[in-house]
Amino acid sequence: MDGIQFNASMLQSMVDMLVYWVGQYGLRLVVALILFWVGFVLSRRLSSLVGRLMEKGGVDVILVSFVRNALHYLLVTAVGIAALGQLGINVTSFLAVLGAAGLAVGLALKDSLSNFAAGVLLIFFRFFRVGDYVTVGGTSGTVMAVNLFNTELATPDNQKVYVPNSSILGNVIVNVTANDTRRIDLVVGIGYGDIISKAKGILEGLLAADERILKEPEPMVAVSELGDSSVNFVVRPWVRTDDYWSVRFDLIRSIKETFDEQGVTIPFPQQDVHLFTEK
């Protein structure tokens, strides 16, 4: 009987404590939850509105995405602190504890913070934009997005690659499509028995016949060296960046076919072996 009475009195104490807590803090908790929910919705809408305004103003897509996400997280943090204050929690002490915890977390996640800082610099210095073809961190691909901690690339064979931002900023950045024009660099060899002026005329004619090759800067065809088995020409036409690969492939094919038709040889490395018989 004593055990039953003890359990009943203990349960009554817990119920009384719960009733007191609900009466004391229940309304505050409801108000804090409502405040946080309303603030969360408003922060998302406000960040989206800022993003749309920046897009209408012609701001780069990467910068728009970064500012929108950063503003959303900042507003949510402010709303969370306000909700904690509504619950009666000492926000000043909470911020002090949060700062100490943030320092410990920062030391533990220094690599992630380094990626975050590098992402901010990449976005604001605009080394590349979404859609550019780049070589960064030893990887080549089309930029799909610059996130807070990594950059997303799509390779030519349709693989998705995530490169840490710190490795991008700490190494050479090559933006292949940054400019509107590119130069094609080819080395074409002919045999020592062929006529240089004839081969040069063929090459210049092929460049002039392709409308995709720009007149300015003027294409260059010149003898570059006397190789071991060939006389080498450098062929350097300028094209629009979008036409680079198609012109390059077509030009190589046309050179081979035209040289064959005109009787100009394209030599390949050969080695003569002389055998001597010892008596």
Q: What is the mean pLDDT of residues 9-34?
A: 66
Same domain, 35 and 99: yes
Would you place residue 9 in the very low, low, confident or very high pLDDT band (cuts 50, 70, 90)?
A: low
17-26, 38-47, 133-142: least confident range: 17-26
Q: What is the mean pLDDT of residues 94-112?
A: 59
77 Cβ neighbours under 8 A, 6+ residues apart: none
Same domain, 6 and 96: yes
* Max avg pLDDT among 28-32, 140-144, 147-151: 140-144
Q: What is the CATH number of the domain that holds 100?
A: 1.10.287.1260
Say what the pLDDT of residue 105 is: 53
Tell me whether strands 160-164 and 174-175 are parallel, antiparallel or unpaired.
unpaired
Same domain, 100 and 197: no
Count CB neighbours of 61 within 10 A.
15
| Three-state secondary-structure class, residue 23 | helix
Rg (CA), the chain: 35
Tell whether 227 is covered by a domain: yes
Q: What is the mean pLDDT of residues 5-19?
A: 64
Tell me whether strands 220-226 and 160-164 are parallel, antiparallel or unpaired.
unpaired
Higher pLDDT, 83 or 236: 236
pLDDT, one tens digit per residue, over 33-80 is 777 788 778 888 888 887 777 777 666 676 677 777 777 777 887 777
Tell whether 257 is covered by a domain: yes
Would you place residue 265 in the very low, low, confident or very high pLDDT band (cuts 50, 70, 90)?
A: very high
Residue 191 tokens read as 């045999």
Tell whether 52 is covered by a domain: yes
Tell whether 213 is covered by a domain: yes
Tell whether 267 is covered by a domain: no
Q: What is the mean pLDDT of residues 108-137?
A: 80
The whole-angstrom separation of Cα 181 and Cα 217 is 10
43-57, 59-73, 127-141, 255-269: least confident range: 59-73
Query: Are 50 and 68 a contacting pair, CB within 8 Å?
Result: yes
Would you place residue 152 in the very low, low, confident or very high pLDDT band (cuts 50, 70, 90)?
A: very high
Residue 28 above 60 pLDDT? yes
Say what the pLDDT of residue 76 is: 80
The whole-angstrom separation of Cα 239 and Cα 190 is 25
Same domain, 22 and 100: yes
DSSP classification of residue 213: B
Tell whether 191 is covered by a domain: yes
Tell whether 121 is covered by a domain: no
CB-count burial class (<10 Å; 0-12, 13-18, 19+) for 116: middle
Higher pLDDT, 140 or 20: 140
Cα 239-244-249 angle, rounded to 5 deg: 115
DSSP classification of residue 216: S
Same domain, 6 and 37: yes
Question: Would the CA dihedral through 57, 62, 63, 67 be positive or negative?
Answer: positive
Residue 97 above 70 pLDDT? no
The whole-angstrom separation of Cα 126 and Cα 261 is 49
Q: What is the CATH number of the domain that holds 250?
A: 3.30.70.100
Same domain, 132 and 78: no
Q: What is the CATH number of the domain that holds 131?
A: 2.30.30.60
pLDDT, one tens digit per residue, over 162-221 is 999 889 988 899 999 999 999 999 999 999 999 999 999 999 999 999 999 999 999 999
pLDDT, one tens digit per residue, over 188-200 is 999 999 999 999 9
Say what the pLDDT of residue 124 is: 78
Nearest to 165 by CA among 116, 127, 124: 116
CB-count burial class (<10 Å; 0-12, 13-18, 19+) for 143: buried
Same domain, 34 and 76: yes
Q: What is the mean pLDDT of residues 21-32?
A: 65
Instruction: Count how many domains the chain has.
Output: 3
Domain extent at residue 162: 127-175
The average confidence (pLDDT) of the chain is: 82
